[in-house]
Chain A
Amino acid sequence: MTKRLSSARYWLGLASLLGGLLLWWVVARIANLPAFILPSPTDVWSRFLSAALDGSLLFNTGVTLVEILLGLFSGAGLATLLGYLIAKSRMLERVLSPYLVASQAVPLVAIAPLLVIWFGPGMFSKVLICALIVFFPVLVNTVVGVRAVPPALHDLMQSLHATRGQIIAKLEVPAALPVFLGGLRIGATLSVIGAVVGELVGSDQGLGFLINVGRGQYDTALVFVAMFTLIVLALCLYGAVAWAERKLLAWQEIVQQ
């Protein structure tokens, strides 16, 4: 029953995608716009092949992916650590919350140029922007998740004379995991935006750089290729976190639906 339903959903999704492609092709055909304004799907496909064959697509995708992963891991790692400490200490929360709130009020897109000026057009500034954008949602969800651990289970652990480490490993981590992973899912999507924003501002490699090149040379098909690659990257990341959620949170499957 559920299997048939999900395969129907799958086919419907595929059909809708194909329909969109067809529509795009028809519009490009009828409107007869120059390729530098609206390339047709076939233009984009042949540009994809040429970029894939000369290795530039793979290289620049790799660069962006490395930036994303480094930013995601460092940002989420720090946010988890700090989030745990904040969840445990009202004092620390009071001291840090003005900074955290203020940091959220600053649009990251606006300070990205500053970060590129300060830290150069290399990878580091992109990783930094990426980490910054990932940081907040993961932090907030860590705090909420750790705070929501049922006090009765803390009592249980205490009555069994559990150590600090055991309480973290066997109670707080599994109990906070659902909310934490929700934050990570948001963070994973944002991390792609962070890396690309950084690259658009200033870089000589990466998918954002390809977009800049394509725009500069009126090679709009290349912009499309880079854009679609980014979409695929973001979907893969999102899928990876969602997969981890399904694996790790099988115990609450019913609750989620």
Chain B
Amino acid sequence: MTEIPPILTVRNLTVVFPDNNDGLRALEDVSFEVCPQEFICVLGPSGSGKTTLLRVLAGLYSPTTGEVEFGNGRTPRIGMVFQQSNLMPWRTAIDNIMLPLELKNADRVTARARAQELIDLVGLTGFESALPRDLSGGMAQRVAIARALIHDPDLLLLDEPFGSLDALTRERMWMELSRIWQARQPALGSPGKTVVMVTHSIEESLLLADRVLVLTQRPGHIRLDLEVDLPRPRKEEMRYTTHFGKLAKKLKDAIG
């Protein structure tokens, strides 16, 4: 795998927020590389800087020291799901989903068709013209997930996207996300999708990720960088295998 250059390199990243004292250190000397099409999960206790890390990757914060470098030197197309669904209250569900394509001045008819596909995919058929105020938290979050996918981003940044979903929907979304992520088309020259996902759930990270990064309590820095060598496609039954149990134990110990 060494011949493939990483799509994303984070080097000695430190983020300090200004406060009344000598600054609040959110991230401390974080370094890791992400290969193209890799699925990374970030675990860590609350306040360990997971959201901060994603926001740096999205270009919303700049590093205090250290650097973030993208493989081909250009910032990739980013699809981001925020911790809160973050929908525009004046737009209907489908119009919210179409926003990224609208910003690219894409053709409206194709954009609408694509948005409809995604609405069906996230199980919101019939709610196309519902306003965010009429959606439950979980439904709003699914709209946000569809919005992050519509412009076919190279890099998906997901901040606890399934936190507000019920167990059943969550498991279905896991499978859909795996499917979307695996639908890479190297033959067509598409670079495929790379995913960095923040989560609180060890199980979720083991069912989805190639690698799991565990951040320590504030200031966050990487305590464990764990390869998840479970076979794909992942099935939920794998939870009950001894290897899954071993990996889960390692993560649990690292989180502390």
Interface positions of A (Cβ within 8 A of B): 152-153, 155-163, 166, 170-171, 174-175, 177, 249, 251-252, 254-255
Contact = CB atoms under 8 A, between A and B. Distances in A.
B60 A251 contact: no
Q: 9 tightest A-B contacts by CB?
A: A251-B90, A159-B80, A159-B58, A174-B90, A152-B86, A162-B103, A155-B60, A160-B100, A251-B131
B90 A156 contact: no
Contact of B82 (A155, A160, A166): A155
A130 B19 CA distance: 47
Contacts of B84: 152
A252 B133 CA distance: 8
B59 interface: yes
Contacts of A170: 99, 102-103
Given A153-B88, A160-B103, A170-B102, A254 B133 contact: yes
A155 B151 CA distance: 17
Interface string B100-119: 10110000000000000000
Given A251-B131, A252-B90, A156 B103 contact: no
A174 to B, nearest CB: 5
B78 interface: yes
Contacts of B59: 158-159
A134 B243 CA distance: 72
B89 interface: yes
B55 to A, nearest CB: 8
Given A155-B60, A160-B103, A249-B90, 15 more contacts: A152-B86, A153-B86, A155-B55, A155-B58, A155-B86, A157-B103, A158-B58, A158-B59, A159-B80, A160-B78, A161-B75, A166-B103, A175-B90, A251-B91, A251-B131
20 contacts: A152-B86, A155-B58, A155-B86, A156-B80, A159-B78, A159-B80, A159-B157, A160-B78, A160-B103, A161-B103, A162-B103, A166-B103, A170-B102, A174-B90, A177-B90, A249-B90, A251-B89, A251-B90, A252-B89, A255-B133
A108 B88 CA distance: 40
A167 to B, nearest CB: 10
Nearest to A167: B103
B103 A171 contact: no
A159 B60 contact: yes
A155 B84 CA distance: 12
Interface residues of B, number: 22
Nearest to A162: B103
Nearest to B88: A153
B177 to A, nearest CB: 19
A156 B86 CA distance: 8
Contacts of A152: 82, 84, 86
The residue among A157, A161, A254 with the most chain B CB atoms within 10 A of its own CB is A161
Contacts of A174: 88, 90
Nearest to A156: B86
A160 B98 CA distance: 12
Contact of A156 (B75, B82, B133): B82
Contacts of B60: 155, 158-159
A177 B90 CA distance: 10
A177 B86 CA distance: 18
A171 B88 contact: yes
A256 B144 CA distance: 25
Contacts of A156: 80, 82, 86
Contacts of A166: 103
Contacts of A157: 103
Nearest to A166: B103
A220 B100 CA distance: 63
A174 B89 CA distance: 10
The residue among B84, B86, B151 with the most chain A CB atoms within 10 A of its own CB is B86
Contacts of A161: 75, 78, 103
Contacts of A163: 103
Nearest to B57: A159
A177 B75 CA distance: 33
B80 to A, nearest CB: 5
B102 to A, nearest CB: 7
Contact of B99 (A158, A160, A177): A160
A252 B91 CA distance: 11
A89 B133 CA distance: 32
A163 B84 CA distance: 23
Contacts of B131: 251
Interface string B211-234: 000000000000000000000000
Contacts of B99: 160, 170
A173 to B, nearest CB: 10
B50 to A, nearest CB: 16
